[in-house]
Each structure stands twice: as structure tokens, then as C-alpha cells.
Amino acid sequence: MTLAGPGRPRARQATRPGATAREEILDAAAELFTTQGYATTSTRAIADAVGIRQSSLYHHFATKDDILEDLLSRTVAAGLSFARAVGESPERGQGAVSPAARLHAVALFDGSHLCSGRWNVGILYHLPEVRSERFSRFLADREELQQLYRVFGSAAVRSPISSGGLQHHGELAFRLVESLISLRIDGQIHPGSPLEVADAAVVLCGRADDLATIREEGRALIGSLGHQLPTPAGERY
């Protein structure tokens, strides 16, 4: 990501959530991009929404694309970091967690983050602009997260039929989690939605009979790796 400079010292009272002017800019941009559209939102409109000059915005972000890239990257950063940590956790021996619990934990953690953001930034994933090389870092991170889902899903399947089938279960889990983005658009999200999606992911792997144990192991794994589930977005579900 290219920045225009270190940014000027804050010389005004904050008008939006965020400890810094940069975070306020991201909040304003997320609101405008998701409610008015990316193409129709100008950097001037973002600056006006924050209450700063357009020139001040450029001290934090050189272009509108830079703002979008930051927002998109944040939607996958937490889930990817956690999924990597789960992938590095022991699969056998002391402290090992069942494959199904690993999948459940990743889906629950990832889904909770998609539902907890103040704005539903995930709806921007399919913008035509995002498919360009300009956003290759975000696309690579999302692909890595998707591949980790495939790995966890393959390991969680109780009675695999074929290698293709194994990959398919993880892919379905990934798509189920991202379906929370669409459900949010339609106002169909509630605080228990991430858990329901995580449950569905392991049920599709044939693990419905020990779902309660899988839930418990998955939550314990989240805690043991030093993570916690984010606070729901409340009315902004």
C-alpha cells in the first residue's frame, strides 16, 4: 500500500470512531463505499464526511484505491492470521484438537469478524476494480484463507469418497462463511449467525453427531491460541 506521507498531527476533535484521523477516514470510506457505491464516491466526499480537507486526506492515502485496499485487507486479516495459527497447532499428541474442531473454530472466528465490522465491507469483494492486479495482495490473502479452509475441510470429513470431495467440503465451508456478507445485506444476521454457519460447515463434513463436543473444542482452541471472538456489531448487523 502506498502512503502519501506520515500524516499531519490531529488538530481537531474526532467526529467518527477511531483513535486516529486515518481510522476515521477508513470508517467514512467504508460507509460511503457500502451505501453509495465505490465508483460514485470521491475522495472529497470522504474528506467531507470526516470533516477534514481533501489535501489532509492525501497525507494518509494517496488514492481512493489505497483506501479500498486497506478496507478489503482488514476483512481477511484476522481470519487469515487465526487460520494460519490453527494450521500450525499440533494435529497429534498433547494439546491436539480434532480436525472438525479446527474447521469449526476457523469458521466461527472468521464469520464473527465478518459480522462485527461497523460496515459490511465484504460486499465490495466483487467490485470489477478488485479483480485487477492493483489488489493482488488482498486477492492473494483471500486465496490463502480459502485454501486453508480446503485443508481443514478435507481433514474433517468422516467418510471421504474422493480427493475432489475432500476439497469440496472445505470450499463449501468457505462459501458458507462468506454468505454472512449477503445475509447482512438482507438484514438476516443475528448474533448467533456465525455459530450457525460454523455448525453447518462441520455438519456437511458428516460430524453432526458430535457437534456439541466439536463446538466446545473449537472455542477452547480459539482461547488457547490467544484470540477471542469480536463483539457483535449490534444494530449494524
In a domain, 1, yes or no: no
Q: Which three cell numbers stand for residue 156?
A: 474433517
Domain membership of residue 110 as a residue range: 64-228
On whether both 91 and 208 belong to a single domain, the answer is yes
231, 114 contact by CB (below 8 A) = no
Residues 51 and 104 in one domain: no
Cα-to-chain-centroid distance, residue 111: 7
Asked if residue 27 is part of any domain, the answer here is yes
Q: How many CA atoms lie within 13 A of 49 on its CB side?
A: 21
Same domain as 197, residue 94: yes
Same-domain check for residues 199 and 85:
yes
Q: Which residue has the higher pLDDT, 1 or 89?
A: 89
Residue 90 confidence (pLDDT): 84
Query: Which domain-ending residue is among 32, 57, 82?
Result: 57
Q: For residue range 56-97, list pLDDT tens digits in order.
A: 999 999 999 999 999 999 999 999 999 999 999 887 767 789
Task: Tell whether 108 and 35 lie within a shared domain.
Answer: no
Alpha-carbon span 180 to 115, nearest angstrom = 7
Same domain for 49 and 129? no
234 part of a folded domain = no
Each residue's pLDDT tens digit, 144-184: 999 999 999 999 997 655 445 556 899 999 999 999 999 99
Residue 9: pLDDT band with limits 50, 70, 90 = very low
User: 112 and 207 share a domain?
Assistant: yes
Query: Mean per-residue pLDDT for 15-34?
Result: 89
Q: How confident is the model at residue 231 (pLDDT cuts 50, 70, 90)?
A: confident
Cβ pair 33, 41 in contact under 8 A = yes
Residue 4 in any domain: the answer is no
Residues 88 and 39 in one domain: no
**Residue 150: all three cell numbers together:** 480446503
For residue 220, the one-letter residue type is A
Task: CATH number of the domain at 34, please.
Answer: 1.10.10
Q: Are residues 69 and 111 in the same domain?
A: yes
Residues 52 and 136 occupy one common structural domain? no
Kindly tell me if the per-residue pLDDT of 6 is higher than 50: no
Can you give the pLDDT at residue 82? Answer: 98
Look up the CATH number of the domain holding residue 105: 1.10.357
Which of residues 208 and 164 earns the better pLDDT score? 208
Q: Which of 39-43, 70-74, 227-231 has the lowest mean pLDDT?
A: 227-231
Q: What is the DSSP letter of 90?
A: -
pTM above 0.85, yes or no: yes
Distances (CA, A) of 222 to 89, 120, 135, 208: 11, 24, 30, 21
Say whether both 53 and 132 belong to one domain. no
pLDDT for position 236:
45
* pLDDT (0 to 100) of residue 95: 72
The count of domains in the chain is 2
